[in-house]
């Protein structure tokens, strides 16, 4: 579970700004988690993952 938290933290940092390597849409990818992974996450982690995917849908045109 620690790896998931670290990955979400990195994604959150990348989502917050434009980096030298590009914009959010250039560097971020949708989070596609299994039901088992979601069940192991805290409510906050699930909310963060949903917010990330919603931002990508809005800014980058990601589709489910």
pLDDT digits over 28-48, tens only? 999 999 999 999 999 999 999
Provide the pLDDT for residue 1. 59
Sign of CA dihedral 9, 30, 49, 35: negative
pTM over 0.85: no
19: helix, strand or coil: strand
Reduced to 3 states (helix: H, G, I; strand: E, B; else coil), residue 22 is strand
- The predicted structure's pLDDT at residue 57: 97
- For 2-22, the pLDDT digits (tens) are 666 666 666 666 555 555 668
pLDDT computed for residue 16 by the predictor = 58
Total structural domains in the chain? 1
Cα–Cα dist 5/11, whole Å: 10
Residue 41 structural domain: 2-60
> Taking 80 as the threshold, does the pLDDT of residue 53 lie above it?
yes
């Amino acid at each position: 579970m620690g790896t998931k938290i670290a990955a979400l933290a990195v994604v959150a940092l990348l989502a917050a700004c434009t980096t030298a390597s590009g914009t959010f849409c250039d560097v971020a990818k949708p989070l596609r988690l299994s039901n088992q992974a979601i069940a192991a996450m805290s409510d906050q982690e699930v909310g963060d993952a949903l917010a990330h995917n919603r931002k990508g849908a809005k800014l980058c045109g990601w589709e489910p």
